Amino acid sequence: MAGKTQLYKKKIVNHLYFSKMLSCAEISEKIEKSLSLTTKILNELVVEGQVVETGHAPSSGGRRPQMYSLKPDVMFTVSVAIDQYVTRMAVMDMENTHMGEVENVELNIANDPGALDIIAGSINRVIDKSGVAKGKIVGMGVSMPGFIDAEQGVNYSFFANRKSTLAAFLENRTGIPVFIENDSSLIALAELRFGAARHTKNVMVINVGWGIGLGMILNNSLFRGDDGFAGEFSHIPLFQNGKLCSCGKSGCLETEASLIAVKDKIVEGLHSGRISVLKKAELEKLSPQGAVAIIGEAAGNGDRLAVELLSEAGYHIGRGIAILIHLLNPGLVVLSGRGAVFGKILQAPIQQALNEHCIPKLAANTNIITSALGEEAQLIGGAALVMEKYELGLTRKIKIQEAA
């Protein structure tokens, strides 16, 4: 019975992380055990200091039920959000609060042969600075672009030519169980668990960034496809523009609608004499992250060139979304990720594209919104991945400790 009790405790911890607060009756229903057994196990978790009583639910006419939550510092996760040019990482508690500042490392993962060593060293430094003992960290969630085999811990697009898998390398360097997943899938997971997609059955989550990623939520579950590669929205061939895409093909959505494409078009516009507060020389010398930051500032201040080209990108994204609506008829489309900060500018041209390219009946009940999680979604998604793999992570942690 002791083994089963431990299993139920793990399940309760997992449900409380994702739901934040539940009554005993709600937990009983989720773990499919009797109310008396659930009450007994909850009381043990309270005594052990893992769970805390957090007051009573609002009155619905009868006795108000006692509510329970996880103690925020009962355990921690590490989330590492990698993109082509910037890697962010943080230690997070059970409320997804950062323990200290988020570490930002500007790093071109495609061109820097030492990138993975830099990332591993930065992770250990972030953990040390957080003050959290490694023994209290249950796992690390790594999100990044590319074709990822999550089961094997391999990214076929980046860091594939190594003796060990990406997950195994980081586990060896940090001593923490590592789980990896595509960045757009984890952004969608964050929206599903904690964001805009919690109460809608079918949702398309658009990751607006250096590419145009897609996470698909179908029937309230994250859809990854047979090989885990579903959602390559960025590479829908929409244009006959002859522009080479990062995938090696030409004419992909990414070549006209990504943040990199917007920056390049602004530079071209300035070169041809367009008037703007932005300066060509400054944009060309800045990192992609720095360039996008000042473009965003200019757009926020009403700079015509910046607003025009972001709007043009939004229209092209809308053309792609029109295809998704025709295929999947989602109830919601969420603009998330790094580019969510441009949501107000992007939404109107996206809607214009839908008006022009969608059959009205199909699009009538699809709402387009901007995520409240924004750039934070990728970090939250990494933490959520760890907690989805909570039991497996504990098993792997024991093996890592035994091998040390």
Average confidence (pLDDT) over 17-42: 93
Short-list 114, 130, 215, CA closest to 176? 130
pLDDT in tens, 230-288: 999 999 999 999 898 888 899 999 999 999 999 999 999 999 999 999 999 999 999 98
Mention the CATH class of domain 196-372: alpha beta
The yes-or-no verdict on residue 59 having pLDDT over 80 is no
pTM score over 0.75: yes
Residue 176 pLDDT: 95
Cβ(224)–Cβ(245) under 8 Å?
A: no
pLDDT of amino acid 4: 84
Starting at the edge strand found earlier in the chain, the sheet holding 103-106 runs 103-106, 86-92, 76-82, 137-144, 178-182
pLDDT single digits (tens) 159-188: 876 778 899 999 999 999 999 999 999 999
pLDDT-derived band at 61, boundaries 50, 70, 90: low
DSSP letters, 25-75, are HHHHHHHT--HHHHHHHHHHHHHTTSEEEEEEPPPSSSPPPEEEEE-TTS-
Structure confidence by residue, pLDDT tens digits, 321-337: 999 999 999 999 999 98
Band (pLDDT 50/70/90 cuts) for residue 60 is low
Strands of the sheet with 332-336, listed across from one edge: 221-223, 212-218, 203-208, 332-336, 367-370
Of residues 348 and 3, more confidently modeled: 348
Of 201 and 160, the structure prediction assigns the larger pLDDT to 201
- Tallying the residues shown for the chain, one arrives at 404
**Residue showing tokens 């993109």:** 83
pLDDT, tens digit (0-9, with 9 covering 90-100), for 363-395: 999 999 999 998 899 999 999 999 999 888 778
CA dihedral 95, 344, 219, 222 (to 10 degrees): -60
Fold match, 76-182+378-403 / 196-372: yes
pLDDT for 208 beyond 70: yes
The helix or strand, by DSSP H or E, that contains position 207, with its residue range, turns out to be strand 203-208
CATH 3.30.420.40 fits 76-182+378-403, yes or no: yes
User: Residue 203 is which amino acid?
Assistant: V
Question: What mean pLDDT is predicted for residues 22-48?
Answer: 93
Q: Give residue 318's pLDDT.
A: 97
Give every strand in the sheet of 66-70, ordered side by side. 22-23, 66-70, 51-56
All residues at 6 or more sequence positions from 41 whose CB lies less than 8 Å from its CB, including other chains: 5, 8, 9, 12, 33
Q: Which of 217-221, 257-261, 399-403 has the lowest mean pLDDT?
A: 399-403
Domain residue limits, the chain: 2-70, 76-182+378-403, 196-372
E strands, 96-201, in order: 103-106, 137-144, 148-149, 154-155, 178-182
User: CA neighbours within 13 Å on the CB side: how many for 394?
Assistant: 12
Q: What pLDDT does residue 392 have?
A: 81
Contact 141, 96 (CB under 8 A): no
pLDDT tens figures, 96-141: 999 988 999 999 998 888 899 999 999 999 999 999 999 999 999 9
- pLDDT value at 206 more than 70: yes
Residue with token string 């980046």: 158
Task: Work out the pLDDT band at 398, boundaries 50, 70, 90.
Answer: confident
State the angle between helix axes of 24-31 and 2-19 in degrees (0 to 180), rounded to the nearest 10.
120
Is-contact 68 43, C-beta < 8 A? no
The answer regarding whether domain 2-70 maps to CATH 3.40.710.10 reads no
Q: What is the pLDDT of residue 2?
A: 63
User: In the structure encoding, which two tokens stand for residue 221, read together?
Assistant: 């579950």
- Angle in degrees, 0-180, between the axes of helices 259-271 and 288-300, rounded to the nearest 10: 70
d(Cα 237, Cα 229) in Å, to the nearest integer? Answer: 17
